[in-house]
Amino acid sequence: MSNPLIAGKAGETHLLLGNEAIVRGAVEAGVQFVSCYPGTPSSEVPDTFFRLSPEADYYFEYSTNEKVALEASAGAALGGARALCTMKHVGVNVAADPLMTLSYTGVPGALVLLSADDPGCHSSQNEQDNRYFARLGGLPVFEPASAQECKDMTRTAMALSDELDGPVLLRTTTRVNHLRGPVTLADAEKAPAPAGFQKDPSKYVPIPAFARPMHLRLLERMQRAMELAETSEYNTVTGSGTVGVVASGISRAYLSDALTLSGLGDKVKVLELGFTYPLPEQLVLSFMKGLTKVLVVEELEPLLENDLRVLVQTTGLDIEIFGKNTLPRYGEFTVGMVEDALRSVLGEAPAVRPVNPPEEGLPMRPPNLCAGCPHRASYLTTRKVFGDEAIYSSDIGCYTLGILPPLKSADLLVCMGSSISAGSGLSKATGQTVVAFLGDSTFFHSGMTGLANAVYNQHDILVVILDNKTTAMTGHQPHPGVEKSIMGDNESRVIIEDVVRGLGVTEIRKVNPLNQKKFTAAVEELKAKSGVRVLIAEEPCPLFARRAYGKKPQVTAYVTPEYDMSEGVMERVACPAFYQDDDCRLAVNELLCAGCMLCVQQSDNIKSKKKGDK
């Protein structure tokens, strides 16, 4: 059955996830080239492109990291293609180097960069506001607030990039990526085949002599973008009064609901900004005519607020601006918060909003490594050999969940790939024993450069590459080292062991961590050595193995009556398939057990049997 995201016709309405709507917007814009590195909350965009690629006309790739992804899309757009590149907010840090210069060179085709920000840190290490990048690099910005706008603005952003010959930022936040709403489709455009790269070093090679005029052309482009923002259909003024509200992104939804629910709608004049940068100054000035107060509703940083303050100061207006003195500079807003901010600016008392007190003392339900996860085995063994004294330098992936007791295998973490390089520096500066843990996808993302550095600079570190054959955390995306993806075999596999050897590492072991005896021996052997050592802990993620390898657990662990609770397997291994039965004895939930047999290797009194056997 053809998917409406590809084959849908104008006028059809579908309930779409924000991220699916972005895919449809790109398809409607005639996208030809899509590259990405996955990361929550952006992942459903590339995953949907990937899944639908057999029935679509675009080229799609999972790139090794965000810098590579953006450069690949840049190359395509320099050759005249319409390109979309997607990543989460911290990915843009990795891609910042090409981004800052792409706006100088411009792109004869079209290039839209999706930055999926995460206010509230739902699944990220920080809540940085990537609207700064647009100001730093010189990119027009669109910020949708509904599924329909996710589609429409992606399409418009692509058209704008085409028109201005420069990259455009589509900035979303978690709530927008992961909302669902009705989306009415338009027909998909068929873009002409890319014209091919036209040589012109003065435009595309930013040596200093060429870079200076490029900067002037960028400033001119941003001036034209501002003129287009003045009349954009996404920037609208409604209502009347002497108190104004300016809102952008998802804050527009909070504001709209606050006005609907509070009855304050007829007391304020509202400027909604969807095409948010460069600020349409004439529109803002005409909006502010007759206002005495303006409340700016934007999550995270006071960017629009500061722009407005500058505008008010330079034009000599007598308007009081409210923003971060009324609403927080961190986390997400709620409808209630926006309503109260509005009331405070209007001089009204905050709404009385009775709330049930939070329930105290409930047991938490933290996310956990799954039953059968090979990382549990890797952590258990490494800790057994290295103990509490070693410093465990962690990285970004499912395996960060090793932070939880009893495994406690994440002592420090900075960003993707930092396990090796930060671990190297730590060990050099302090002489402490460091074990770095990183996953297979993270190794290709930015672990390789750190490993080459460790070899060259003669660092002392044990690197455990947790190779579960997929990018598990973000939804089982492939990477260069995988054997399989949901689409079939990987025909151009890059073997991690070969890469490690090629980077100059001589002490390499590759062992399945579920084989505790062999794995323990390998860890002990490498512990006794110094310098850069690499242990590849190889075993597929069981969730992925079920999907891609068709591997279903055949056996289950069970606890014999001889097991003594003082053996402590439950406390040490902490598998989600464990429970205490009515007699307060350890038991294994056969439905949850993945048959990894890690616990069986911890006690002679835990045994295996075929699933279903008594």
Residue 298 found at the interface with another protein (CB under 8 A): no
Cβ 145 to another protein shortest distance, Å: 7
Which one of 10, 12, 15, 457 is in contact with another protein (CB under 8 A)? Answer: 15
Contact stretch for another protein (CB under 8 A) within 77-85, 156-164, 441-449, 569-577: 569-577
Binding track, positions 89-108, relative to another protein; x by CB under 8 A: --------------------
The distance of closest approach from Cβ of residue 575 to another protein in the complex, given in angstroms and rounded to an integer, is 9
Give residue for tokens 């952590």. Answer: 379
The answer to whether 358 contacts another protein (rule: CB under 8 A) is yes
Residue 355 makes contact with another protein by CB under 8 A: yes
Binding residues for another protein, total number by CB under 8 A:
56
Q: Which of 227, 579, 604, 609 binds another protein (CB under 8 A)?
A: 579
The answer to the question of residue 256 lying near another protein (CB under 8 A) is yes
Q: How far is the CB of 24 from another protein (least distance, A)?
A: 16
Out of 356, 566, 583, 610, point to the residue binding another protein (CB under 8 A).
356
Instruction: Give the position of tokens 């309405």.
Output: 13
Judged by CB under 8 A, the residue of 8, 25, 41, 80 near another protein is 41
Query: Nearest approach, Cβ of 568 to another protein (angstroms)?
Result: 11
Residue 465 Cβ vs another protein, minimum distance, rounded to whole Å: 21
- 544 forms part of the interface with another protein (CB under 8 A): no
Binding characters for another protein, 128-147, by CB under 8 A (x = yes): -----------------xxx
Q: Cα separations (Å) of 391 from 27, 420, 442, 520?
A: 48, 12, 19, 18
Residue keyed to tokens 């998802």? 250
Q: Pick from 467, 460, 491, 495: which is nearest to 481 by CA?
A: 495
Provide the residue type at 220 as one letter.
E
Nearest to residue 464, comparing CAs of 519, 403, 387?
Answer: 519
| Least Å from the CB of residue 597 to another protein | 19
Quote the least distance from Cβ 26 to another protein, whole Å: 21
Per the rule left: phi > 0, alpha: psi between -120 and 50, beta: everything else, 393 is beta
Q: Is 582 in the site for another protein (CB under 8 A)?
A: no
1 forms part of the interface with another protein (CB under 8 A): no
Alpha carbons within 13 angstroms on the beta-carbon side of residue 158 total 29
| Residue-wise burial string across 265-295, b where 16 or more C-beta atoms lie within 10 A, e elsewhere | eebbbbbbbbbbbbbbbebbeebbeebebbb
For helices 147-164 and 18-28, angle between their N-to-C axes, nearest 10 degrees = 40
For residue 543, give the nearest of 597, 454, 600, 473 by alpha carbon: 473
The DSSP annotation for 228-266 comes to HHHT-TTEEEEE-SSEEEEEETTHHHHHHHHHHHHS-GG
Q: Which stretch binds another protein (CB under 8 A): 4-12, 439-447, 499-507, 567-575?
A: 567-575
The CA distance from 354 to 359, in Å, is: 15
CB of 518 or CB of 547, closer to another protein: 547
The single residue among 317, 574, 590, 611 that binds another protein, judged by CB under 8 A, is 574
Separation CA 89–CA 135 (nearest Å): 15
Minimum distance from residue 260 beta carbon to another protein (Å): 6
Residue 83, strand partner residues: 33, 111
The nearest distance, CB 333 to another protein, in angstroms, is 8
* Long-range interactions of 232-235: CB distance < 8 A, separation 24+: 232/274, 232/275, 232/280, 234/142, 234/149, 234/153, 234/156, 234/272, 234/273, 234/274, 234/275, 235/271, 235/272, 235/273, 235/274, 235/275, 235/280, 235/283
Select the residue interacting with another protein from 201, 316, 354, 488 (CB under 8 A).
354
Nearer to another protein, 252 or 533 (CB): 252
- Choose between 41 and 513: whose C-beta lies nearer to another protein: 41
- Let me know: does 563 contact 606? Beta carbons within 8 Å: yes
The verdict on 368 binding another protein (CB under 8 A) reads yes
Q: For the purposes of burial, counting CB atoms within 10 Å of the CB of 123, is it exposed (0-12), middle (13-18) or buried (19 or more)? A: middle
Position 111, amino acid = L
* Residues pairing with 391 in the sheet: 434
Supply the minimum distance, in Å, between the C-beta of residue 241 and another protein. 21
* Cα–Cα distance, 353 to 341 (Å, whole number): 14
* Residue 50 touching another protein (CB under 8 A): no
Strand (E) or helix (H) holding 393: strand 391-393
Options 208-216, 327-335, 386-394, 416-424: segment touching another protein (CB under 8 A): 327-335
Of 73, 69, 111, 106, the residue nearest 88 (C-alpha): 69
Interface residue with another protein among 90, 114, 246, 370 (CB under 8 A) is 370
* The one among 401, 593, 596, 599 contacting another protein by CB under 8 A: 401
Among 3, 53, 101, 123, binds another protein (CB under 8 A): 123
Interface positions, 328-347, toward another protein (CB under 8 A): 332, 334-337
Residue with smaller CB distance to another protein, 368 or 506:
368
> Cβ of 316: how many Cβ atoms within 10 Å?
6
Q: Which of 515, 482, 510 is nearest to 596 (CA)?
A: 515
| Range 451-510, binding another protein (CB under 8 A) | none
Between the alpha carbon of residue 429 and those of residues 346, 434, 457, the distances in Å are 57, 11, 13
* Residue 580 engages another protein in binding (rule: CB under 8 A): yes
Q: Which of 54, 363, 550, 612 binds another protein (CB under 8 A)?
A: 363
Q: Does 566 bind another protein (CB under 8 A)?
A: no
How near is the Cβ of 482 to another protein at its closest, in Å?
20
Neighbours of 212 (CB within 10 A): 11
Contact pattern for another protein over residues 147 through 186, marking x by CB under 8 A = x--------------------------xxx-xxxxx----
Identify which of residues 71 and 340 has a Cβ nearer to another protein in the complex.
Answer: 340
Nearer CB in complex with another protein: 32/235? 235
For another protein, give the closer residue by CB, 374 or 450: 374
State how far the Cα of 97 lies from the Cα of 572, in Å rounded to an integer. 44
Q: Which residues bind another protein (CB under 8 A)?
A: 13, 15, 40-41, 122-123, 145-147, 174-176, 178-182, 250, 252-254, 256-257, 260-261, 332, 334-337, 353-359, 362-370, 398, 401, 570-571, 574, 576, 578-580, 584
